[in-house]
Structure 1
Amino acid sequence: MFDWRPDGPNFVVEGDNLAVSAHLPGGAFRLIYLDPPFNTGRTQRRQGLSTTRSVTGRRIGFKGQSYETVKGLVFTYNDSFVDYWEFLEPRLHEACRLLAEDGTLYLHLDYREAHYAKVLLDALFGADCFLNEIIWAYDYGARPTRRWPPKHDTILVYVKDPSRYFFNSEAVEREQYMAPGLVTPDKAARGKLPTDVWWHTIVSPTGREKTGYATQKPEAIVRRMLQASTEPGDWTLDFFAGSGSLGAVAAQLDRRFVLVDSNPQAMAVMRKRLVGASDTAFLTGADVV
């Protein structure tokens, strides 16, 4: 049986993330990073959402605000999920439940779904809990000629309580000014605090970080989140763990972690990648039921 405890080991769990998350106590994690599968089918199923505040709405947002989600026409798409949002919505509910009162959620999506996710998260958390829309911009891959090449992902950032969330800008690694000649030499040498646009290349196909996992995200992207929104010893969670980037960075920064994925390939990658992470337990699907 999967038995998470605040004073227990780190966990890497193979299993359905919705089932595993049910074994975790509410408010246990100061940072939750979610990088779910992108809804990339060419003919996609779209579910129109309009969210309005309502006295009788069935969805209760943060601070007791009541919302009603009105679902529009549903169209079919050719993708790996019958309904992407029917899959993702209950997992976002769990993320909200598991997030600490001073915690931060980072939801990593591409341009196809980010606008739908913001509507849903506004309803779930409350619009005043929206902190940032981070654009991760990169310059790699195909170059279509009949539109501007899409070279960014979106990371939506929400906090549980806008009056209590933790954010330490001084801990974040600074970056070079794009025009260092326009600032003083001292400022140019120190660098600047990153904005909500993060320029960083993808994981190099021949680099040290490369694990071979198709959707691996750069450690530097995850490190920036952990540096800003956690302190040493804090618990972090990723229940679409993939290649285990959150765990790798958390181990480097002395943070604790729970990683969940149902893909055996992901588990094999994480076992190899996190072999040096002390006090880490690996569980199979049979261990969590």
Structure 2
Amino acid sequence: MSSRSAVFDPSGGSLVIEGDNLEHLGSLPDGSFAMIYLDPPFNTGRAQRRVRTTNERRPEGDGNRVGFAGRSYHTVRETLAQYDDTFADYWEFLHPRIVEAHRLLHRTGTLYLHLDYREVHYVKVMLDALFGRDCFLNEIIWAYDYGGRSRRRWPTKHETILVYVKDARDYHFDAEAVDREPYMAPGLVTAEKAARGKLPTDVWWHTIVSPTGRERTGYPTQKPVGLVRRMVQASSRPGDWVLDFFAGSGTLGAAAVETDRRFVCIDSSAQAIEVMERRLGAHAQVLRRP
């Protein structure tokens, strides 16, 4: 189903929206989403043009944002910008969108931010400043074993997902709702435990989307639905709203459909919208550009 005029209705159905995410996010109500998953474009074109050292130190004091709030936060940002012009552009691109994500999270909500190893340490500084360091919940490592093998370094076979909650004292997390995984050494546990499986840790071994598998949509950066489903199960309840405004192939929407959640997926790419319309169209209203 396609439309150009529908608007977000917290009591209504799921949406796929074509357009600039920052333009659309401002129209969404505060605190609407129990869980937000973001897989922004990786800034893989960074070039370290100017390497500088700095003696800037974290100020002494109390508070949950020591070292990143106020002047110190800006000092870190300026130092990174001096180090890498391209990163400064990435920061300017991502920062206002993360501000919106914080606003849109429910009081008990959780953000999952999926990042490349080139950016994760920089972006964590940003998240510590915006959410507060005490709201950092986990660093999840998604490990897989597929692709090329470098002989000049250890082959890179992981990505990082930073997990932040809006309120460090009151957030939703349901470990029992998550799909369990096999024990790596089932002979070391009872048969009952082996049959049930174990709860995941913060290291997730999960295959990529198979190039010949049924899940494959043809979208180049598609993520496995099993990976995102685990986040949805842990950090939202059936009937809750979940959001992805770098939606790509719509994996969050697919995971939401499987787990009885409602979703908003936003992307500016016409190709992404076409993929999501085929994949999710029966479960969502598709809003295209006028």
TM-score (norm 2): 0.88
Q: 1:113 to 1:45 in 2, by over 3 A?
A: farther
1:252 alignment partner AA: E
Q: Equivalent residue of 2:138, what SS?
A: strand
1:19 alignment partner AA: E
Query: Any residues of structure 2 matched to 1:138-177 within 5 Å, and which?
Result: 138-177=144-183
Cα deviation code 1:221-264 (max 9, x no counterpart): 00000111111100000000000000111011110000000000
Structure whose residues are more often helix by fraction: 2
Q: 1:98 to 1:145 in 2, by over 3 A?
A: same
Aligned to 1:192: 198
Aligned to 1:67: 70
Q: Equivalent residue of 2:253, what SS?
A: helix
Contact residue 51 and residue 67 of structure 1 kept, 8 A: no
Q: Equivalent residue of 1:87, what SS?
A: helix
Cα deviation code 1:180-202 (max 9, x no counterpart): 11112221121110000000111
TM-score (norm 1): 0.89
How much identity, in percent, do the aligned residues show? 63
Aligned to 2:220: 214
C-alpha separation in 2, matches of 1:75 and 1:106: 26
Q: Equivalent residue of 1:216, what SS?
A: coil
Query: Any residues of structure 2 matched to 1:76-155 within 5 Å, and which?
Result: 76-77=85-86, 83-155=89-161
Q: List 4+ stretches of structure 1 deviating above 3 A.
A: 44-55, 65-68
1:40 aligns with 2:5: no
- Larger RCO (alpha carbons 8 Å, 6+ apart): 2
Structure whose residues are more often strand by fraction: 1
Paired residues, number: 275
Q: Equivalent residue of 1:189, what SS?
A: helix
For 1:17, which of 16, 21, 42 is the aligned residue? 21
Cα deviation code 1:26-62 (max 9, x no counterpart): 111000000000011162579999895799xxxx989
Q: Equivalent residue of 2:152, what SS?
A: coil
Contact residue 61 and residue 124 of structure 1 kept, 8 A: no
